[in-house]
Structure 1
């Protein structure tokens, strides 16, 4: 099989995958070494193919991601673990926001989609430049997370629950406010 044909097959595999595909699995399917896979990924990215690397393998970025808001609670020491959980599933942490009883909604863009992004974010917080929004609400906060499928978001939710990060919504928390704002943005 030529290199071009192999890369076309690789794109097809990644487009149809429901979860990340490891370099090893790609190498076995395409009967080449993992090094060839790494080189092919680089070539495909140079051709503007949007391939995402996660610790579980490669994903092809899809056009219309699924979106979910998670309310979470954790310590500063657990923050990196929580953020890595999302990106390890190939998801993107779009933002962090809090519902403050006095100031209403306070939101910041994050755009984290790799462990490298998470590490840089954590390093900035540790340097004392700023603090996380969660600090204004005793650790409770929300993340808008996008992923390629509802199944991935379900897996993330299950893992957040297992690790004790998922927090229960209270009656006074108008989570619908964010849905309405998102719909307004999308209609523009």
Structure 2
């Protein structure tokens, strides 16, 4: 019986973590969550992992954890390709038209889908992302698949997404499918 009580307190703590992250306008550090909830930082790390097993909207940033606000906007997945030197232009083209780049992912023939959250919505976010890449710690996922990759992009409405699609097409970044559709549903991803 005592084991169930501990499990319940863990569930309550995880619900409180979700509430804190959902209501915060900025990322909340693991240390801050630990202090607020009276547990160790390692307990918070474990709780975040358990929460992520049930939901995928928690984003880890260098400043802490966040749950981006849901918008009533529209969302599309674009298949794109470009060089490393064109990352700035591609991401800037999206955010300048009101888009938020939620993630980047590739389809690997052996490993399947490999993805990473980005949550890039401003020029500053683009600059920070490029700074991280330039640090040399890692390289873009697109380099694994000969520059081909996907972005889930969110915008306030379909018109804004259409403008983003048009500029990506004009700049030669957008990869059109055989039937001229520029967006792919998750179940239809082509293997690169």
Instruction: Report what 2:153 is aligned to.
Output: 145
* TM-score normalised to structure 1 length: 0.58
Instruction: Report what 1:117 is aligned to.
Output: 125
Alpha carbons of 1:101 and 1:124: their partners in 2 closer, same or farther (altered >3 Å)? same
Per-residue deviation, 1:132: 0.7
Task: Select 1:128's aligned residue among 130, 136, 143.
Answer: 136
Alpha carbons of 1:122 and 1:111: their partners in 2 closer, same or farther (altered >3 Å)? same
Per-residue deviation, 1:69: 0.4
Structure 1: which 5+ residue stretches go unaligned? 1-47, 49-60, 180-188
Equivalenced residue count is 118
Alpha carbons of 1:137 and 1:157: their partners in 2 closer, same or farther (altered >3 Å)? same
Structure 2: which 5+ residue stretches go unaligned? 1-24, 26-68
Instruction: Report what 2:92 is aligned to.
Output: 84
1:93 aligns with 2:98: no
Alpha carbons of 1:106 and 1:88: their partners in 2 closer, same or farther (altered >3 Å)? same
Q: How does 1:27-176 map to 2 (within 5 A)?
A: 63-169=71-177, 175-176=184-185
Distance 1:129 1:178 in 2: 32
Distance 1:145 1:151 in 2: 13
State the Cα RMSD in Å: 2.3
Per-residue deviation, 1:176: 3.3
* TM-score normalised to structure 2 length: 0.57
Per-residue deviation, 1:157: 0.5
